[in-house]
Amino acid sequence: MQEYVIRRLKGKRIDYEDFFALKGVDLKVHRGETLGIIGHNGAGKSTLLKVVAGVLKPSEGSVVVKGKIAPLIELGAGFDMELTGKENIFLNASILGLSRKEIEKKFHKIVEFSELADFIHSPLKSYSSGMVSRLGFSIATEVDPDILIIDEVLAVGDEQFRKKCNKRILGFKKKGTTMLFVSHDMDEIKRLCDRVLWLDHGKSRMSGEPKSVTKEYLKG
């Protein structure tokens, strides 16, 4: 805004160019399916997840979602850094659709999984970014969603905690939870996904079986 005003006052020409993060992506994900989404940085992967999660509204086209979503897009989004870990559990879980009674039932499980019991009454501003991510992951995965959206979040914490996260994700997969999964780790994509969508500059470049799509992506 400041740049705009200054340029107008100086009588300079103001140019802009429309940029569409997604262009004509047509996608259907079936119940119980795990869809991997790959592509270079800026390809539109996170935008697609945010549109599906309802964080962003598409400027054209439509999105139809059937089921309760838990988005693991930006761990810690919706947290208040001035509040304690405990207060943020109640705040964040309520944003994800849980009632106070449901949160009270799940509270100890969330704390136990996050391994933050010693810090749960401390304000979040005293947490490291890794601790905030661990708390965010622990809350979102206790919601028991129909659809789980995962954007590059399996690298939270140390190696032991990452194994716990992977184990929990596999548990959702076995239970038949629908998952949308973004990662730059092709081995992880091949291990977890039933189908892969390759996005390139906001467009669908290729979709199909994980091994063949990741092979073409790596060649490109």
Q: What percent of the chain has pLDDT over 70?
A: 92
Do 182 and 93 belong to one domain?
no
User: Is residue 136 domain-shared with residue 174, that is, in the same domain?
Assistant: no
Domain boundary at 128, 143, 158, which? 143
pLDDT of residue 13 exceeding 70, the answer is no
Is position 208 within any domain? Answer: yes
Is residue 173 located within the same domain as residue 217?
A: yes
Relative orientation angle of helices 129-140 and 85-95, to the nearest 10 degrees:
40
Could you write out the three-class secondary structure of 9-21?
Answer: HCCCCCCCCCCCC
For position 54, which CATH number holds?
3.40.50.300
- Structural domain contains residue 74: no
Q: Which of 102, 108, 129, 104 is nearest to 120 (CA)?
A: 108
- The letter for the amino acid at 198 is W
Please give the tally of structural domains in the chain.
Answer: 2
Question: Could you tell me the residue range of the domain that residue 118 belongs to?
Answer: 83-143
Q: Are residues 63 and 150 in the same domain?
A: yes
Query: Taken in order 169, 90, 128, 69, is the CA torsion positive or negative?
Result: positive
Is there a single domain that holds both residue 131 and residue 111? yes
Instruction: Evaluate whether residue 49 is within a structural domain.
Output: yes
Domain final position from 119, 143, 167: 143
Residue 152 falls in which region: left (phi positive, over 0), alpha (psi -120 to 50) or beta: left
pLDDT of 30 above 70? yes
- Point out the domain boundary residue: 143, 171, 194: 143
Residue 130: inside a domain, yes or no? yes
Instruction: Return the closest-CA partner of residue 184 out of 204, 198, 202.
Output: 198
153 plus 216 within the same structural domain = yes
- Say how far apart CA 87 and CA 6 lie, in whole Å: 43
Taking each helix axis from N to C terminus, what angle separates 85-95 and 100-114, rounded to the nearest 10 degrees?
120
Determine which of 57-61, 73-77, 130-134 has the lowest per-residue pLDDT on average.
73-77
- Is residue 57 assigned to a domain? yes
| pLDDT of 9 over the 90 cut | no
pLDDT at 20: 78
